């Protein structure tokens, strides 16, 4: 069973990836009632080797989260005040205390504002304060492995993370005239867009390369309620129907202050004076005004796995620490919770290193064999179907949306179509896949493969060949040794 399928071996050779740089584990999952599912190893190529799994590490974090916290777990954002409500005015300060809701987005904040108004508040006569005591300070530091600090995937964890701290500008040619429309989300109370871009007759392939963007406060002084100028210049291809330009360019307090202010005003609320949001723990004398609950964990896990959301995965790992070991949450405590959960399932992964739970790390390692053991164990858990359904479907959605499409067309005539539900992972020098394949004859396989090599970026084809082989009922006679 220690072999590489012919098509995979050929792809590795063509793309100059040595066989010693890939690990593969394929396990056939035998059906049975929950808790009694069994498995049989079908293919093992260097599967015990500790490898960097990139974003497939999210499978460890999300499965632990679902089983420990439950699919219906909801994060809470608490609003406190040190004042009183009098004749529709809250005379006092508002304190927001977060527990790490990873999907506090404009739609959710709008619900929070509605709940606040339902308390009889029309106007706020006080300031905003942000309590981030749920996390240890070091986990909120902005450290990156690639130096791209303004990219959304590198946003650090935050107990009061709003809209992934990312400004998303929507750019497109106006439907009524020859100029460029620029919109943005989330709404901010003090943001002005200056559009100095020119339309050019070009294809949309490299639309971003000729855009110049600058975001600065008006004047020299920087404060959380100051007017911000977002300036776009350069050229934009007329062939683009609509694109998103995402940037992380504001500190957490400014982004949340202006986002909260805008949401309150959009809900019809008013301020006596524009808030200057600052960090502060909730005073002992403050009273709870509102406890707001976010979306269910099952929906968050869908986003984490389908779209490989790094900050959401990191926040989930910290939530495990917060809920099971108390605050302040640390990544070390998050890893302890995961290791304890694995031990409870009888899974021993001595090589496992978890740095942040997202796979955006040069230090995280696991073996393909043990990742597959996790996938098999998931089928015996009550949350197994929720976990399975969170994985990207080849040719359909998430990070697998455009993969295996040609191969899957071969099965269009079949009543019960085979499928591959696969979490992907990629870093410089790393390509990874891990998940389940339902073959054309109805066999289910757990499959994990890691490539760790400078040419790993060429390894996508080899991984697709491996998945195609399984869709076609791969493991039969031994192929290329």
DSSP letter string, 424-470? EEEETTEEEEEEEEE-TTS-EEEEEEEEESTTGGGTHHHHHHHHHHH
The whole-number pLDDT of residue 336 equals: 98
The pTM of this model reads 0.94
At 404, phi and psi to the nearest 5? 65, 15
The tens digit of pLDDT for each residue in 405-431 reads 999 999 999 989 999 999 999 999 999
The whole-number pLDDT of residue 108 equals: 97
Q: Is the pLDDT of residue 331 over 60?
A: yes
* Cα(136)–Cα(51) distance, integer angstroms: 29
Q: Is the pLDDT of residue 479 over 60?
A: no
Strand partners, 27: 41, 446
Confidence at 445, pLDDT banded by 50, 70, 90: very high
Average pLDDT over residues 32-55: 88
Q: Is the pLDDT of residue 222 over 60?
A: no
The tens digit of pLDDT for each residue in 65-91 reads 999 999 999 999 999 999 999 999 999
At 334, phi and psi to the nearest 5? -60, -40
The whole-number pLDDT of residue 481 equals: 44
Provide the terminal-to-terminal Cα distance of the chain, rounded to the nearest Å. 9
Question: Is residue 369 exposed (0-12), middle (13-18) or buried (19+ Cβ within 10 Å)?
Answer: buried
At 314, phi and psi to the nearest 5? -65, -40
Average pLDDT over residues 203-220: 84
Confidence at 150, pLDDT banded by 50, 70, 90: low
The whole-number pLDDT of residue 60 equals: 98
Task: Kindly state the percentage of the chain with pLDDT values over 70.
Answer: 96
* Cα(250)–Cα(104) distance, integer angstroms: 17
The tens digit of pLDDT for each residue in 237-267 reads 988 888 999 999 899 999 999 999 999 999 9
The whole-number pLDDT of residue 65 equals: 98
Nearest Cα to 121, choosing from 262, 257, 270? 270
Q: Pseudo-torsion of CA 413, 4, 23, 428, nearest 10°?
A: -70
- Which residue intervals of 205-330 are DSSP H helices? 252-266, 297-307, 310-325
Q: Is the pLDDT of residue 478 over 60?
A: no
Average pLDDT over residues 355-364: 96
Confidence at 384, pLDDT banded by 50, 70, 90: very high
Q: Is the pLDDT of residue 115 over 80?
A: yes
The whole-number pLDDT of residue 216 equals: 85
Confidence at 102, pLDDT banded by 50, 70, 90: very high
Q: Regarding predicted confidence, which is higher, 119 or 226?
A: 119
Q: How high does pLDDT run on average in the chain?
A: 93
Q: Is the pLDDT of residue 363 over 90?
A: yes
Least confident of 82-91, 142-151, 458-467: 142-151
Domains of the chain: 6-72+297-471 (3.40.710.10), 167-247 (no CATH)
Least confident of 196-205, 286-295, 389-398: 196-205
């Amino acid at each position: 069973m220690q072999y590489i399928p012919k098509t995979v071996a050929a792809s590795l050779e063509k793309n100059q990836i040595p066989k010693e740089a890939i690990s593969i584990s394929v396990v056939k999952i035998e059906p049975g009632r929950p808790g009694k599912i069994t498995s049989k190893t079908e293919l093992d190529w260097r599967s015990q080797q500790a490898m960097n799994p990139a974003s497939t590490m999210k499978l460890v974090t999300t499965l632990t989260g679902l089983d420990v916290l439950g699919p219906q777990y909801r994060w809470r954002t608490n609003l406190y005040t040190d004042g009183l409500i009098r004749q529709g005015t809250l005379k006092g300060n508002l304190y927001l205390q977060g527990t790490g809701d990873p999907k506090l987005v404009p739609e959710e904040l709008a619900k929070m504002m509605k709940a606040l108004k339902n308390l009889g508040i029309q106007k706020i006569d006080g300031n905003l304060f942000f309590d981030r005591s749920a996390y240890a300070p070091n986990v909120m530091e902005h450290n990156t492995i690639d130096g791209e600090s303004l990219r959304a995937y590198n946003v650090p964890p935050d107990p009061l993370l709003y809209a992934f701290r990312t400004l998303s500008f929507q750019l497109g040619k106006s439907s009524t005239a020859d100029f460029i429309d620029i919109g943005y989300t989330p709404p901010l109370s003090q943001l002005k867009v200056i559009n100095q871009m020119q339309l050019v007759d070009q294809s949309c392939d490299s639309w971003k390369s000729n855009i110049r963007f600058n975001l600065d406060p008006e004047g020299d002084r920087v404060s959380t309620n100051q007017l911000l100028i977002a300036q776009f210049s350069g050229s934009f291809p007329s062939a683009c129907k609509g694109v998103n330009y995402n940037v992380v360019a504001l500190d957490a307090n400014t982004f949340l202050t202006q986002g909260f202010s805008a949401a309150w005003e959009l809900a019809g609320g008013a301020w006596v004076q524009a808030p200057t949001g600052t960090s502060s723990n909730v005073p002992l004398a403050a009273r709870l005004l509102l406890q707001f609950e976010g979306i269910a964990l099952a929906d968050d896990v869908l986003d984490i796995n389908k779209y490989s959301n790094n900050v959401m995965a990191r926040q989930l790992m910290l939530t495990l620490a917060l809920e099971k070991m108390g605050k302040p949450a640390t990544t070390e405590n998050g890893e302890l919770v995961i290791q304890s959960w694995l031990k409870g399932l009888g899974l021993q992964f001595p090589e496992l290193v978890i740095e942040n739970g997202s796979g955006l790390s040069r230090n995280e390692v696991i073996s393909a064999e043990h990742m597959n053991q996790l996938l098999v164990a998931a089928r015996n858990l009550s949350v197994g179907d929720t976990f399975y359904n969170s994985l990207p479907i080849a040719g359909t959605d998430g990070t697998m949306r455009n993969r295996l499409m040609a191969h899957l067309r071969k099965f269009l005539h079949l009543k019960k179509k085979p499928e591959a539900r696969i979490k992907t992972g990629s870093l410089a020098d790393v390509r990874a896949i891990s998940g389940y394949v339902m073959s054309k004859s109805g066999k289910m396989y757990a499959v994990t493969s890691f490539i760790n090599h400078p040419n790993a970026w060429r390894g996508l084809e080899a991984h697709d060949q491996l998945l195609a082989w399984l869709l076609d009922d791969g493991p039969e006679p031994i192929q290329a040794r």
